[in-house]
């Protein structure tokens, strides 16, 4: 919740929350406050508090039956009720979020954020050690001759290498461009679990598959509970008739 509140703030402007889950400022009509998210955040604190309360109750008990355990039942039931009322709200918030992708990409590209990828690229393509590539990239940034790696050229790399390492580095513009922007870096990380779109889609498919399995298990347990209640009612009614 903290991230959603932070990312929806004026300072970040990474996402816009649905109007159904926000309110206007009390004295400032230009403000949009994430009040619903803040209440959800507080509710989650109550859940954590309930967990700690249960642990503290059970932790001090000796083995065997202790009346203390009955107190944990209300804690559990209250927590379940709180989650049941909170989760639909969270679902609604997530379904109505509007991401500001332009702003996201803008922030992702500031302050030479792709420096690690540029360093690795120079090391691999230029056939030098990572530490040497690190010194070259650090020097380029400190000189302030470029505002982002989009402006970086093979000549700049080579000139800086001659100055710092006393030897040339041969890389192409295409190799630099492969990791010059945040978007390019993301697309380049195609290994298992990486942030490339293809990998993210695979992870989403895997999570959806796991979710379907969990939903199936929940439905099965619900059915078993329903069958147990039905059997219990029949047994009770049968017992009452027998007594009469």
Contact of 137 with 215, CB cutoff 8 Å: no
Q: CA angle, corner 189, sides to 183 and 191, nearest 5?
A: 155
Residues 6 or more apart whose CB falls under 8 angstroms from that of 187 comprise: 196, 197
Spatial distance between the Cα atoms of 99 and 117, rounded to a whole number of angstroms: 26
pTM over 0.75? The answer is: no
Percent of the chain with pLDDT over 90: 84
pLDDT at 244: 67
Q: What is the pLDDT of residues 183-226, one digit of tens each?
A: 999 999 999 999 999 999 999 999 999 999 999 999 999 999 99
Q: What is the pLDDT of residues 43-60, one digit of tens each?
A: 999 999 999 999 999 998
- Tell me what the mean pLDDT of segment 31-42 comes to: 91
């Amino acid at each position: 919740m903290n991230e959603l509140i932070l990312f929806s703030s004026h300072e970040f402007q990474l996402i816009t929350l649905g109007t159904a889950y926000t309110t206007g400022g009390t004295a400032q009509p230009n403000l949009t406050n994430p009040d619903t998210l803040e209440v959800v955040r507080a509710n989650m604190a109550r859940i954590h508090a309930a967990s700690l309360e249960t642990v503290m109750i059970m932790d001090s008990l000796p083995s065997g039956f202790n009346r203390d355990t009955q107190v944990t039942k209300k804690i559990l039931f209250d927590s379940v009720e709180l989650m049941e009322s909170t989760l639909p709200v969270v679902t609604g918030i997530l379904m109505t979020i509007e991401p500001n992708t332009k702003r996201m990409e803008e922030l992702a590209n500031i302050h030479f954020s792709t420096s690690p990828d540029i360093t690795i690229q120079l090391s691999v393509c230029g056939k030098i050690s990572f530490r040497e590539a690190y010194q070259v990239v650090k020097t380029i940034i400190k000189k302030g001759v470029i505002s982002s790696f989009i402006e970086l050229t093979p000549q700049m790399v080579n000139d800086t290498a001659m100055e710092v390492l006393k030897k040339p580095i041969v890389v192409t513009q295409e190799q630099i461009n492969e990791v010059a922007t945040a978007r390019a870096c993301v697309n380049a990380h195609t290994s298992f679990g990486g942030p490339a779109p293809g990998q993210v889609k695979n992870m989403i498919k895997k999570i959806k598959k796991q979710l379907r399995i969990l939903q199936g298990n929940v439905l099965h347990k619900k059915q078993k509970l329903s069958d147990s209640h039905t059997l219990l009612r029949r047994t009770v009614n049968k017992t009452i008739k027998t007594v009469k």
